[in-house]
């Protein structure tokens, strides 16, 4: 080996020795000198987290009703101290931001923004959520020389979005921020009832600073999607129709439920007034007009019981027939009033009908007759049947905050024979609109009470997770009894409730005009709840509709408000649901 080669080798060896010395020094520093410092940092490892994507809510045709998007927040890094030139630029920036926020609906001034930025912190998160277009304007400020700080930027915030606006707001519910990880939790409606399925499952782990320690993989499980029994087009039609009816009849509020009586599938559920689930906080202080203790977010169709009035007479008649208290051929002698323990019960029309058959009891909606039917059936049998029809208990629908209603029975402090008699025509008891719909649907469905439901499928992407089957809750009355009551309800529509008639279709139904109880045990002298419940085709029903208007001012009677509103809506729905008229349907058999 010559001198040149030895020189090169010495240089290489020296360089390697130097590198080894550096490594040794760093190891000694890391493991001995700075051991406590690094040990403390390792004991406070940061958490790495993967957040799940909340599942979507879809209508029966796959149209999106609830999904996920983003809002944006403004971050500003303010240099300290600001200095004279910085103060001028800060004032200009405050003006720019105020304009952007005002365009996004905020009532905020440049002075207020300036006060929020004039703090000792250098990193400031402004307390406003802006949309994408305004976020782009904020980000563009950094590109304008001498007019803004380079330290201004926006960050994304997850946001639940509702592409259909306030459509079926009470059914969907809304979400609110629930944790430091920007995860959302459902409030009311389906968002709450299926929160566990929709929310998915986040994942997190402790991230180690040492490269020698294996890092855990962090993978979130996205939430499941819900596919509903409701069609967006049908729901929109029902909501628009209800809004028009409320305006025309001067009603304070209203509910419409459309259901398939054979399965319990809810085809539409509309309640007005409504709210915007995307901006639910704007309605935080709003109360429902029919219950000042109930917030506007609650679903009145399942949460707000009311006295149903004469629509209950269909159930009372079914009970009397099925229990053997009367037959379809029985008669009743009406004198216009009935005295029970010193209390008078009158017919709503104040009329006297004389001797009538059971069909006429329903047709003329005779209070005294149905009160007598309830009394003659007896409390034990009568209330046992009411429970088989689903009264006094939750229906089991997959929605939040379902009310039970009020059903006083023997043994209760407030129960008397008068309660039994008035229950016969829907007074002195309360039900939810959904309970009432389900009970009459049982009559339409040969006496079978089905559990109402609104989620058709639960999906993991394209994979089916759950497919709930229609569930039979009880045989409320026999099929023969149900068909006898059906014939009475058809006769009533054809001969007395002509405004509920739909050309080409056989409709069965009953009106209700219920008084509204006030504090102190009295009823409001003028206001009523007007309703009509009907199903069609009567012999093979595809849908049942409860149409309820609260405190209509054009007329107090269900026959003059809810019945024609029902007919107009049903005439549209038979087209949307492709239900052929009787002449076509029967010819195809």
Tens of pLDDT along 489-526? Answer: 999 999 988 899 999 999 999 999 999 998 777 889 88
Q: C-alpha 347: how far from its chain's center?
A: 38
573 or 36, greater pLDDT: 573
DSSP state letter for 430: B
Q: Where in the chain is the domain with CATH 3.40.710.10?
A: 232-587
- What was the pLDDT predicted at 47? 57
Residues 6+ apart with CB under 8 A from 484: 321, 328
- For the chain, the C-alpha Rg in angstroms (whole number) is 34
Looking at the DSSP bridge assignments, the partners of residue 337 are: 346
Three-state SS at 324: coil
Q: 394 pLDDT exceeds 70? A: yes
- According to DSSP, residue 55 is labeled P
Mean pLDDT, all residues of the chain: 88
Fold of 52-228: Penicillin-binding protein 2a (Domain 2) (3.90.1310)
Q: Angle, to 10 degrees, between the axis of helix 132-140 and the axis of helix 83-103?
A: 160
Report the pLDDT value the prediction gives residue 235, as an integer from 0 to 100: 98
pLDDT for residue 551 is more than 90: yes
Cα distance between residue 345 and residue 337, in whole Å = 5
pLDDT at 212 over 80: no
Residue 405 pLDDT grade (very low, low, confident, very high; cuts 50, 70, 90): very high
Spell out the alpha helix ranges (H) of 378-470. Answer: 379-388, 417-423, 433-444
pLDDT tens for residues 413-448?
989 999 999 999 999 999 999 999 999 999 999 999
As a residue count, the chain comes to 589
Distance from C-alpha of 490 to C-alpha of 498, rounded to nearest angstrom = 11
Cα 471 to Cα 453: distance, rounded to the nearest angstrom: 9
What was the pLDDT predicted at 146? 47
Question: Would you list the DSSP string of 110-164?
Answer: HHHHHHHHSSS-SEEE-S--B-HHHHHHHHHGGGSTTTS-TTEEEEEEEEEE-TT
How much is the pLDDT for 215?
A: 56
Give 228's strand partners. 455
d(CA 258, CA 533): 10
Residues of the chain with CATH 3.90.1310.10: 52-228
Give CA–CA dist 379/417, Å, rounded: 8
* Cis peptide bond prior to 588, omega within 30° of 0: no
CA distances from 454 to 107, 116, 128 (A): 40, 47, 36
Q: Does position 211 have pLDDT exceeding 60, yes or no?
A: no
Question: What is the structure's pLDDT at 83?
Answer: 53
In this model, does residue 144 exceed pLDDT 70? Answer: no
The answer, yes or no, to whether residue 450 has pLDDT greater than 90, is yes
Structure confidence at residue 200 (pLDDT): 83
C-alpha distances out from residue 518 to 287, 296, 523, Å: 18, 21, 5
DSSP conformational letter for 221? B
Which one of 3.40.50.970, 3.40.710.10, 1.20.1250.20, 3.40.50.10420 gives the CATH number of domain 232-587? 3.40.710.10
pTM here is: 0.86
Residue 112: pLDDT band by 50, 70, 90 thresholds? Answer: confident
Contact at 8 Å (CB) between 574 and 496?
Answer: no
């Amino acid at each position: 080996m010559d001198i040149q080669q030895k020189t090169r080798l010495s240089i290489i060896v020296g360089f390697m020795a130097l590198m080894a010395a550096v490594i040794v020094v760093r190891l000694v520093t890391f493991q001995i000198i700075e051991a406590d410092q690094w040990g403390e940092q390792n004991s406070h490892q940061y958490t790495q987290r993967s957040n799940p994507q909340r599942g979507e809510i879809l209508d029966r045709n796959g149209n999106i009703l609830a999904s996920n998007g983003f809002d944006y927040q403004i971050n500003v890094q303010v240099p300290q101290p600001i200095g004279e030139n910085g103060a001028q630029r800060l004032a200009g920036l405050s003006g720019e931001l105020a304009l952007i926020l005002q365009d996004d609906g905020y009532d905020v001034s440049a002075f207020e923004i300036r006060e929020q930025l004039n703090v000792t912190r250098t990193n400031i998160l402004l307390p406003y959520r802006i949309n994408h277009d305004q976020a782009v304007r904020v980000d563009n400020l950094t590109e304008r020389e001498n007019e803004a700080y380079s330290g201004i930027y926006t960050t994304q915030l997850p946001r639940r979005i509702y592409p259909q606006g306030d459509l079926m707001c009470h059914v969907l519910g809304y979400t609110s921020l629930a944790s430091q990880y920007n995860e959302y939790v459902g409030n009311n409606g389906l968002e709450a009832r299926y929160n566990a399925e929709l929310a998915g499952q986040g994942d997190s782990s402790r991230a180690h600073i040492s490269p020698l320690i294996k890092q855990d993989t962090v993978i979130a499980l996205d939430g499941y999607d819900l596919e509903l029994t409701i069609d967006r087009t049908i729901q929109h039609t029902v909501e628009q129709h209800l809004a028009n009816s409320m305006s025309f009849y001067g009603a304070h509020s209203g509910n419409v439920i459309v259901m398939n009586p054979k399965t319990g599938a809810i085809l539409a559920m509309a309640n007005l007034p409504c709210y915007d689930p995307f901006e639910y906080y704007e309605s935080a202080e709003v109360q429902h007009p029919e219950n000042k203790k109930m917030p506007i977010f609650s679903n009145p169709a399942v949460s707000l019981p009311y006295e149903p009035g004469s629509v209950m007479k269909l159930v009372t008649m079914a009970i009397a027939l099925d229990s053997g208290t009367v037959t379809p051929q029985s008669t009743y002698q009406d004198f216009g009033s009935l005295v029970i323990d010193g209390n008078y019960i009158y017919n709503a029309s104040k009329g006297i009908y004389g001797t009538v058959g059971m069909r006429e009891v329903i047709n003329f909606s005779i209070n005294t007759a149905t009160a007598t039917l309830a009394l003659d059936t007896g409390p034990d049998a009568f209330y046992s049947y009411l429970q088989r029809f689903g009264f006094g208990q939750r229906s089991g629908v997959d929605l939040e905050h379902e009310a039970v209603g009020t059903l006083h029975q023997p043994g209760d402090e407030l129960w008397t024979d008068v309660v039994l008699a008035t229950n016969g025509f829907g007074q002195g008891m309360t039900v939810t609109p959904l309970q009432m719909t389900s009970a009459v649907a049982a009559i339409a469905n040969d006496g079978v009470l089905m559990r109402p439901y609104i989620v058709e499928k639960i999906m993991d992407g394209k994979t089916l997770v759950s497919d709930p089957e229609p569930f039979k809750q009880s045989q409320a009355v026999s099929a023969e009894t149900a068909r006898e009551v059906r014939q009475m309800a058809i006769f009533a529509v054809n001969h007395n409730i002509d405004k509920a008639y739909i050309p080409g279709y056989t409709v069965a139904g009953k009106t209700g005009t219920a008084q509204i109880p006030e504090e102190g045990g009295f009823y409001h002298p003028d206001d009523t709840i007007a309703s009509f419940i009907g199903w069609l085709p009567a012999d093979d029903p595809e849908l049942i509709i409860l149409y309820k208007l609260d405190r209509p001012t054009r007329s107090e009677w269900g026959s003059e408000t809810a019945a024609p509103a029902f007919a107009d809506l049903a005439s549209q729905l038979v087209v949307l649901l492709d239900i052929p008229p009787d002449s076509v349907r029967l010819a195809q058999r």
